[in-house]
Homo-oligomer: A and B are copies of this chain.
């Protein structure tokens, strides 16, 4: 499997049957298995044969996670609005399935700054943050000025009009005037969490 990590299946465009076949073969060889971008309907079919898998309706993930000892570090998943929840949860479930503790700091968008400031210590104490925002995508820039650890920014396609399906947030994040911010594809909660887990691993490589 990839990099000593659980295998992750991209569910989009695969039938329930295809996913089931893949999942069953992976189950034999892996500790944990994660399917992303899978609908409830398909998940139910897979779960009939693999009842130990848990479906997260917001994240649209299906995961089987074997409990293992974790570091006491954590990744902060920071999220601007309720409409970005789906992407934030995809990130959170990914990190958890990959064996890392997660703290969810949700609904801290820049239009209500005090909520972000109230939670800033918990975010600063994370090894690395995943920062999810749609529309103007300003959250990573503000956060980048407040903390000193790396931030993986995820633009979301939430919005309408001149949002152009996430282009607006994507460009904002790439142009961030705060240092320490790097960016993944629009709606790619999975990819952001994967990056964060790699960084977390570096930060704790001596441990355990």
| Residues of chain A having any CB pair with chain B under 8 Å | 2-4, 12-13, 80-81, 83, 109-113, 127-128, 135-138, 141-142, 144-146, 148-150, 152, 155, 157-188, 191-192, 194-195, 198-199, 202-203, 205-206
B198 touching A185, Cβ below 8 Å: no
A143, chain B: closest CB distance, angstroms: 10
Contacts of A12 in B (CB 8 A): 83, 160
CA gap between A7 and B80 in the complex, in Å = 19
Listed A/B pairs (11) with beta-carbon separation below 8 Å: A13-B83, A110-B177, A111-B142, A111-B178, A159-B175, A160-B187, A161-B185, A162-B174, A167-B171, A168-B171, A168-B174
Pick the most buried of A157, A162, A173, A194: most chain B CB atoms within 10 A of its CB: A162
State the copy count for this chain: 8
B172 touching A136, Cβ below 8 Å: yes
CA gap between A166 and B159 in the complex, in Å = 14
A61, chain B: closest CB distance, angstroms: 16
A2, chain B: closest CB distance, angstroms: 7
B183 touching A150, Cβ below 8 Å: no
A148 touching B183, Cβ below 8 Å: no
Contacts of A146 in B (CB 8 A): 113
- Taking CB as reference atom, which chain B residue is nearest A166? B161
- Taking CB as reference atom, which chain B residue is nearest A182? B182
